[in-house]
Structure 1
């Protein structure tokens, strides 16, 4: 039978996070240089969940040293490494390479410098509620569901727990504090799931407007 959620998390929770960081990215790590995907994982995890790095190093190495055998494969009791574009015979060596880079980072304290997110995974890891908001309320179906952008924002506020609304306001201010170019803000909202135009506002102007709307006390109907 497939692994229970508890057993999955014990064995593979952080391994899974590392693998997710490679979504749409090249697994071109080598002993001298980590890939863009692993650098993004290290940057985010160092700054937000540094205690998870040792777990990632151990789970990567354990999986490389003890790949699932025939019984576990037949029972489904294993983590299925996603296709990262490497030949099957090179995956174990690649996992060891990732573990080595993570161990080096931990032992030397070498941390990728702070920056705006670079990969799709890093955008969503850093701004999870903003990803939920943009992907859920501003997909390409938004014009069929709401009269305009403001109506969609109001619907989010009415249907979402106030603590999550507060979290979104914080993420909006954090994103605006990065002080990116407008083209980079357009890339950011696209990476986070927005599929409609913010016109007549610029991307950053619209984000600031949404933050202001959600931070204001809700109007009480009479």
Structure 2
């Protein structure tokens, strides 16, 4: 019997977040754990202990091939680890999390440093950029304004308010135009801002426009 979503989250939800923080980076990149800790300390500090416990439980009781095939256990993404390395890697991650908790210390505040951290810190902006500003945007919507209008038409006002806050938070980071251009890519955008906007000017126009009546898009 395959895992249902509630059981998955109860047994493996935080483990999955820690592991996915390494995707695209590799298993032995300290910045991946720093990113998880920085984001989780600021939003859900209680989850760090949960993650450490789930990592140790999985390391000590790995599923066999049959149970994995039946979907009864969480399947670790392929990070390039040999089977004999998995136990030590998972327990090492748990040790890092426990050490952070025992010291009561999070990594210093900073702009996101990994793909996972960008999406975790700005989830609704990632939803907008990845879903409405992909490389198919010109064919699907015609232009940026139409794409944004389609997003606004089908999105709950509470999520639009969240998006507005995320835009202001992103613009408050000391990134500069090059950094904001990289942020757009990390958050899923596959098209350039509309002319004549720079990345910063477009994000500012979005943030200001969404605060207008009905969340009207910028002209």
1:46-125 correspondence runs (5 A): 46-69=41-64, 72-73=67-68, 75-125=70-120
Q: Deviations over 1:97-123 (max 9, x none)?
A: 000010000001121001000111000
Q: Deviations over 1:67-109 (max 9, x none)?
A: 1135533533111111111211111100000000100000011
* 2-structure distance, mates of 1:5, 1:160: 24
Instruction: Work out which of the residue numbers 155, 167, 170 in structure 1 matches 2:165.
Output: 170
Quickly say closer, same or farther: Cα 1:67–1:207, change in 2 above 3 A.
same
Instruction: Work out which of the residue numbers 209, 212, 216 in structure 1 matches 2:212.
Output: 216
- Farther-moved stretch of structure 1 (140-149 vs 47-56): 140-149
* 1-structure distance, mates of 2:121, 2:69: 37
| Matching residue of 2:197 | 201
How far off is 1:149 after superposition?
Answer: 1.5
Query: Are the equivalent residues in 2 in contact too, given 1:11–1:59 (CA < 8 A)?
Result: yes
Return 5+ residue gaps in structure 1 as ranges. Answer: 30-34
**Number of residue pairs matched?**
215
Quickly say closer, same or farther: Cα 1:139–1:22, change in 2 above 3 A.
same
SS at match of 2:192: coil
* 1-structure distance, mates of 2:146, 2:172: 26
| Matching residue of 1:8 | 8
Provide the TM-score with structure 1 as the length reference: 0.92
Query: Are the equivalent residues in 2 in contact too, given 1:176–1:204 (CA < 8 A)?
Result: yes
SS at match of 1:36: helix
Return 5+ residue gaps in structure 2 as ranges. Answer: none
- Farther-moved stretch of structure 1 (135-144 vs 152-161): 152-161
| Matching residue of 2:130 | 135
Q: What RMSD in Å do the two structures reach over aligned CA positions? A: 1.6
| Matching residue of 2:153 | 158
Q: Deviations over 1:136-157 (max 9, x none)?
A: 1111111112232222222221
